[in-house]
A = this chain, B = another copy of it.
Amino acid sequence: LCSVRELEVKVNELGLKYKSEETVLLRYCSGKCDKHRENYDMVMKHMMTVGFREKGRKDKVSIQPCCRPTAFEHFTVLDTTVNPSRYLNIHNVSAKNCGCV
């Protein structure tokens, strides 16, 4: 099920190339959302397989809600690899909570 997962990572392991060696708790959203589908999703599934082709449409659509953060949190860490050292404020980088949206 779509939920918050936690992973201890160093800031320099986030892939954003910030060099701080601080370790942070990265929270992300993962898991299934099929239980939250609506009629809309059923219709989209049908349209993607049959409907759109018949109408000459090539649009791509999602056929179920996706497991996404519904609120973010920031990391505030110190980078001492530069001189003078400075604080970094990395915005909206970790999921505060998740939901099927």
Tell me the interface secondary structure of chain A in the complex.
Answer: mixed
A84 interface contact, C-beta 8 A: no
Partner of A101, one of B30, B52, B68: B68
Contact A92 B55 (CB under 8 A): no
A39 touches B9 (CB 8 A): no
Size bracket of the A interface: 35 or more
> Is the CB of A62 closer than 8 A to any CB of chain B?
yes
Q: Which B residues are in CB contact (< 8 Å) with A26? A: 43, 47
Chain B residues, Cβ within 8 Å of A60? 30
Task: Tell yes or no: A46 within 8 A of B by CB.
Answer: yes
Is A91 interfacial (CB 8 A cutoff)? yes
